[in-house]
Homo-oligomer: A and B are copies of this chain.
Amino acid sequence: MSAWFGPEPTGWRQLLEQTLAEDVGTGDLTAASFSPESSVRWMIEAQSDAVLCGTGFAEALLGASSDGHWLSRKYKDGDRVSAGDIVLEGRNQTSNVLTLERTALNFLMTLSGVATLTGRYVDAVAGLPVRIVDTRKTVPLLRNLQKYAVRCGGGHNHRMGLYDGAMIKDNHIAAHGSISAAVAAVRNTVSHMTKIEVECESAEQVAEAIAARADVVMLDNMSPANMAAIVALHRGETVFEASGGVNLSTVRAIAETGVDVISVGSLTHSAIAASLHMEFK
């Protein structure tokens, strides 16, 4: 049983050390008062229902460092936990646990917050053939970790950044004179392994994008009725992504239009922290 949901998010160790340095700085002024022999029995407990994410950070921080110390993981990333569940527990040097507790919890709370919110969107479209995906509206420095948390919550990822997918917006279209010209220009420079998405605001634009063989068509801020009509007209001709105006009240109606993908910015820019804390026995 691995701490990570699928492959580890690359770069996580460096982010962990950078985060720890933020908190510890030149040293934990209070921890010095404990004897190095003192150990403590600790538990991390969920205080509300959540989809778990970030246990790998907690495990790396609080894992056993010498004889008599241990760590036991009860749940792993992607698991759904309820208020009162013990997520991780163990025994370790008292001063170490107190120094590392906050960093471990900050990762767990932040990332489980994203996973939990994603899980609510995924639940809302249960049974429908649609993906909930994230956007590039992420918290600075947390792109890779938040996208991992979205996967833990049952969502999928949109492109990771500007480098692994092309997105043609109105500015690009204006610069090239037409959607077909813009798609052709971009296709000419990008790899044959790069997909091209076109942001469309009308049925006419959608038709033009499909004619230009756009790999993905974004239906930008359209009403469910409009989206349903467009999807019905072009079923199987491209991949449709709905974007804009998505919240927990509207997402199911949007999913029912038949779009393949719904992108939700708030998954990563406005998730509130999951409640977890540490208890000592």
A contact residues vs B (CB 8 Å cutoff)? 2, 6-7, 9-11, 15, 18-19, 21-36, 38, 40, 94-95, 98-99, 102-103, 105-107, 109-110, 113, 131, 133, 136-145, 147, 156-169, 171-172, 175-176, 182, 185-186, 189-195, 197, 215-216, 239, 241, 260-261, 266, 269-270, 272-273, 280
Q: Are A156 and B192 in contact (CB under 8 A)?
A: yes
- Cα A101 to Cα B105 in complex, Å, equals 32
Taking a contact as CB atoms under 8 Å apart, the answer to whether A141 and B22 are in contact is: yes
Contacting pair A140 B185 (CB below 8 A): no
User: In the bound complex, do residue B136 and residue A139 qualify as a contact, i.e. CB atoms below 8 Å apart?
Assistant: no
Chain B neighbourhood of A186, CB < 8 A: 29-30, 32-33
Partner of A270, one of B113, B142, B193, B239: B113
Residues of chain B contacted by A216 (CB below 8 angstroms): 192-193
Q: Would you call A142 and B143 a contact (CB within 8 A)?
A: no
Contact between A27 and B10 (Cβ–Cβ < 8 Å)?
yes
- Known A-B contacts A25-B160, A28-B163, A156-B191; the reply to A15 vs B171 at CB < 8 A is no
Q: Can you name the residue of chain B whose Cβ is closest to the Cβ of A239?
A: B192
CB-CB < 8 A to A99: which residues of B? 162
Contact B26 A163 (CB under 8 A): yes
Task: Return chain B residues, CB-CB under 8 Å to A30.
Answer: 162, 166-168, 172, 186
The residues of B that contact A31 with a CB separation of less than 8 Å are 7, 162
A-B contact pairs, 21 of them (CB 8 A): A7-B31, A7-B95, A10-B21, A10-B25, A11-B21, A23-B161, A25-B163, A25-B164, A26-B144, A29-B189, A30-B168, A31-B162, A33-B186, A99-B162, A110-B139, A110-B140, A131-B192, A139-B139, A164-B194, A165-B193, A193-B216
Minimal Cβ-Cβ distance residue in B for A4? B36
How far, in angstroms, from A103 to B19 measured CA to CA in the complex?
20
Q: A29-B190, A106-B140, A182-B33 are in contact. Are A273 and B269 (CB under 8 A)?
A: yes
- A30 to B193, alpha carbons, bound, how many Å? 14
- Whether A139 pairs with B137 at a CB distance below 8 angstroms is no
Cα–Cα distance between A197 and B36 once the two chains are bound (Å):
23
> In the complex, what distance in Å separates the CA atom of A157 from the CA atom of B143?
25
Q: How far is the CA of A261 from the CA of B139 in the complex (A)?
A: 29
Closest-CB distance, A210 to chain B (whole angstroms): 16
CB distance from A168 to the nearest CB of B (A): 6
- Chain B residues positioned under 8 Å from A164 (CB to CB): 25-26, 29, 163-164, 191, 193-194
